[in-house]
Structure formats: structure tokens, C-alpha cells
Amino acid sequence: MPTDSRHRWNHNTHYYPAVLDTAPAGARTALDVGTGDGLLATDLRERVPDVTAIDSDPAVLDRARETGAEVRWVLGDVMTYPLPEEHYDLVAAVASVHHLPDLASGLRRLADLTAVGGKLVVIGLARSASISDYAMNVAGTVQHRVLARSRGFWQHTAPMEMNFPHTYAQARRIAAATLPGMIWRRLPLFRYSVTWHNQRR
């Protein structure tokens, strides 16, 4: 059975192409945070020669290894595992930052792992609390029905946490304060994105 995201559609894999397109030209290193079933790491490995994927769940990481991709699979907590700082040309976190104990410290940690000139991209989840949020939810529901019917819906095996600690507005304020110059987008399919370019000198 195919193991990459092109053959398995859900709300997370839908945004993998956008994550892949964020990789800087000539990227040599990438980090997939909360890799889950390892599909994004597998896709990244087709573009980036050195990919590390980290997850704190041993069972799901074992399943990720079954992809057979030449990826460095790491069992650990991204907040404490001794990953090299300012090393990764692309740091990607899809549906994982709401699992961290604190969003601001989590984003700072991911930024510290991003190489100078590299990109950090987060696809996150949050709580709806405004009229615009609920309007986006309606659009997302319609999009889900259309795409699930045409592509099928694949349920990943990673543990899910549906208790979101922040609203979209709160997540945006925290990201703006933590990652100056970040680009925020509210996405359909109940997601948001944060993209940050490490221009520290």
C-alpha cells in the first residue's frame, strides 16, 4: 500500500504540499515535529537530503519507521530532546503545537532550531470564537464533504488532542509576539498557518 501523503487524504495531509513549498531553495536539512505516521517526513525526504522526524509516542513512531524512508526517526519530546539549534533549513509542525504545554515557549523552541535563512512553518488548530471563525468553519465543512467524497478520508493512527487551549485570535497574537515578521493565514479545514523566516544575525 502506498505510504506517502499523495494517496492518503485528510485535513493534515491536505496542507503538506504547502509545507513542502515553504522549504528554502537548496535546503539540506529538515525537521518534522510530531511526525505521527511519518508521511510528511517521507515527502520531505524526496526534496531534502537530511530529514529528522521526532515524536514522543513510541508506537506511532514504530509505524512511521515502516514507511522505509531514509529518515532519522527520533523518539523524544521536541522541547527537551537535544536537537541541534539553528540547524534545520525547514522546521515543520503540522497539527502538533497544541500538544505542547505552552504555545509561546513551543514556538520559541522551534524558532531556535531553525537555521539562519531557514523557514519555520506551523499548521495549527485552535478554537473558534468569532463570526469570521464560524464562517471559515462553514467553508471548511463544505470543502471537507467535497474532498472526502472525491479522495476518501484517511484516519491517521497518531493520538489526537481536540482540547485546544487557544482561540485563533489568541494563537495569532502569541505567534506575532513570539515570531516577529511571521505570516499568519486562517485556513479552511479548521486550521491556521504560521510561516516565519529566520533572519537573525
Q: Any idea what DSSP says for residue 127? A: B
Establish if 59 belongs to a structural domain.
yes
Cell of 163: 482540547
CA distance 94 to 71: 17
The predicted-structure confidence for 168-191, as pLDDT tens digits, reads as follows: 999 999 999 999 999 999 998 999
- Quick check: 140 pLDDT over 60? yes
Establish if 146 belongs to a structural domain.
no
Full domain range(s) for residue 164: 5-126+159-197
Contacts of 76 (CB under 8 A, 6+ apart): 54, 56
Instruction: List phi, psi (to 5°) of 194.
Output: -125, 125
- Quick check: 1 pLDDT over 50? no
Helix-, strand-, coil-residue percentages of the chain, each rounded to 5: 35, 25, 40
The predicted-structure confidence for 66-106, as pLDDT tens digits, reads as follows: 988 999 999 999 999 999 999 999 999 999 999 898 999 99
- Quick check: 54 pLDDT over 50? yes
- Note the pLDDT of residue 11: 77
Q: How many domains does the chain have?
A: 1
